[in-house]
Chains A and B, each alone.
Chain A
Amino acid sequence: MSVTARPATRSTAPLGRLLRSELRTALCRRRTLVALGVLALVPVLIGAGVAAQGSAGTGRVSGLITAASGNGLLLPVAALAATLDLLLPLAVSLAAADILAGEAACGALRGRLLAPVSRPRLVAVKACAVCVVAVLAVLVVALVGLATGAAVLGGAGQLLTLSGSVVGTGDALARIALAVGWTALQVAAVGAVALAVSSVTDHPLVVVASVLGGAIGFGVLDTIPSLGWLHPWLLTTAWTALPDVLRDPMPTDGLLRGALLAAGYLVVGLVAAVAGLVRREG
């Protein structure tokens, strides 16, 4: 065994090895795989539904879905908008719940602390793993949406924007890529907040309930006119900007504001997660 004891020297496991270990654990969880599978079904179901009857609707998401009829390149964005409200936050909060609260409940977190891995470093690798899950979830929705759109809805490689203009494949793919990046940032922000909750509880269910309760609660707050001053600060309210990527020319105000707001939630969530884990009794 090539181990040398170096007494009284500060040492820590290589960051890459630790990160790979956390990633393997997070991505091989059956829950994560099931969540990704369910997310992959959403664009397929939407595509099939639209192809079957070209459903009519007036809401934010159902309007988008209607617009996807015969407009396959629109499906990825429609699917992202449909999943961003609840399913994507659910997927990422499951991962965040397992990675801290779940491991604390079964005692595996103690092993990490005793190895030792410093607590800020531990939050950093776990946050990376949660972000990877967020990106994967968004990519699954977008890529399956792209494939389904091409296979079922057609559109001849062109995108009919919500403004009525037609843009080419390259432009459409760029818009989809922007939607993917923007949505991934939103989901990562939810993941960071979930990680903060996860850092102070031993119950994974509390994390999932907090995130879903928060998403629904924010939705309720958004409907109360007297709280108008609060609305610009609600992450869920910013999510209404996602269909903007399908307008021509693209209005960037809402998207930019949403991105900055998500970055703010991300930073606050990560700081709170570090504080939560540092103060926690291991």
Chain B
Amino acid sequence: MTGRDSVTLCPRATDGPPGSGGPEGGGRARAAVPAARLRGLRKEFRGTVALDSVDLDVPAGSVLGLLGPNGSGKTTLLRLLLGLSRPTSGRVELLGQPMPDGAATALPHVGALVEGTGFLPSLSGRDNLTRCAAAEPLLASPAAPAVDAALHRVGLAGGPDEPAARRYRAYSPGMRQRLGLAAALLVPRRLVVLDEPTTALDPVGAREVRGLIHELRAAGTTVLLSSHLLAEVEEVCTHVAVLMSGAVVAAGELETLLNADSPTLVVRTTEPGPALAALRAAGVSGSYPERGSVVVDLTDTAADLVLRVLVQAGVPVSEARRRRTGLEDLFVQLAEAAG
């Protein structure tokens, strides 16, 4: 894997499904056991309840975005999932293993970047990663090829003045983040947990990480990421869970959540007045004008009927598209409901 392009993030999990089944097949084969399962999870810190009655499944093969305002318990949830701390009550399963007791079985297949990156400032990036590699159960000795591949994958290796040779102390926040990702990807994983993976990155770096998440998913790896960047979650995730004040207030497939609201059709036209009149005459209710368009409620009406009515009435239609609830709208609704 060392001969790879040094800039683009191109991982390929070699523990992907065998044969020609492809990533999709692999995802389906593992779908029986969720990558992670939380049941009735509760965590208190000296009387403060950080998480309460959390039930959550991370389906195998999914990319689940964990959303929530600061202090909602995202990191606490990830730490419990990874066995870094013990729940006050409730059950945590990671890759089918109870946590934290099953850590030795589950964690070798899990790559994680939580609570920022943890490296020794006095060592170079490469030495730090070599140190991490020494502790990876699934990594064969010598670890140097895997370390090199991981550094290339995140764009820290290569060139005469490669960043990997510099001390971690001198790294920019973006480079630190990349090294953290490299550590999470040292071994092909079944689950990768990323806590705010793009926070410190510039737009190019953030796009590379999104590309990396897509490629992990294509290789059959489940990805669980926490973020407060709604657009990012909307772009990369298949599933979403929203955490508010320590409780999961919404969870499920992204599409389902976004379409849960009444669907609407936005018809762009230069003549909104006649359009509304025509729709009303045809008995279509719940339409209103909006900036050079007409918005039609599709709860009781089919989209093709709306268009037929408008075209037959001679209204010029330049564009018609379905409007979904944005993740941001959903998030704000949930926040208001919870607050």
Contacts and interface: CB of A to CB of B under 8 A. Distances in A.
B108 interface: yes
B82 A114 contact: yes
Nearest to B117: A107
Given A3-B187, A21-B131, A13 B136 contact: yes
Contact of A29 (B103, B109, B117, B122): B122
A111 B132 contact: yes
Nearest to A8: B105
B49 interface: no
Interface string A87-123: 0000000000000000100111111111111100000
B149 A1 contact: yes
A174 B1 CA distance: 55
Contacts of A18: 134-135
B110 A114 contact: yes
A7 B146 CA distance: 20
Contacts of A282: 79, 83-85
B273 interface: no
B162 interface: no
Contacts of A11: 104-105, 108, 137-138
B48 interface: no
A124 B134 CA distance: 15
Given A3-B187, A11-B104, A107-B115, A117 B135 contact: yes
A110 B119 contact: no
A5 B15 CA distance: 6
A2 B85 CA distance: 32
B115 A13 contact: no
B154 interface: no
B121 interface: yes
A13 B137 contact: yes
A1 B145 contact: yes
Nearest to B114: A110
A8 B104 CA distance: 9
Chain A residues touching B, majority SS: loop
A4 B140 CA distance: 9
A9 interface: yes
A24 B114 CA distance: 25
Contacts of A114: 82, 84, 107, 110, 112, 114
A14 interface: yes
A116 B104 CA distance: 6
Contact of B105 (A2, A9, A24, A103): A9
B110 A12 contact: no
A20 B85 CA distance: 28
Interface residues of A, number: 39
Given A115-B132, A118-B104, A103 B112 contact: no
Interface string B134-162: 11111111000110010000000000000
A115 B103 CA distance: 9
A112 B149 CA distance: 21
Contacts of A5: 15, 109, 138, 188, 190
A3 B120 contact: no
B36 to A, nearest CB: 14
A5 B134 CA distance: 17
Contact of A17 (B14, B79, B134, B138): B134
A191 to B, nearest CB: 20
Nearest to A11: B137
Contact of B136 (A4, A7, A30, A115): A115
Nearest to A105: B118
Contacts of A9: 105
Given A1-B149, A5-B188, A115 B131 contact: no
Given A116-B104, A116-B107, A106 B119 contact: yes
Contacts of B82: 114
A281 interface: yes
Nearest to A20: B134
A165 interface: no
B186 to A, nearest CB: 9
Contacts of B135: 13, 18, 21, 111-112, 115-117
B138 A108 contact: no
22 contacts: A3-B14, A3-B146, A4-B15, A5-B190, A7-B95, A8-B105, A10-B104, A11-B104, A11-B105, A11-B137, A20-B134, A25-B131, A29-B122, A107-B115, A108-B131, A110-B115, A114-B82, A114-B107, A114-B110, A115-B108, A116-B83, A116-B104
Interface of B: 1, 14-15, 79, 82-85, 95-97, 103-105, 107-110, 112, 114-123, 128, 130-132, 134-141, 145-146, 149, 183, 187-188, 190
Given A114-B82, A282-B79, A282-B83, 12 more contacts: A1-B146, A3-B146, A8-B96, A8-B105, A17-B134, A17-B141, A25-B131, A103-B120, A107-B117, A108-B120, A115-B107, A116-B135
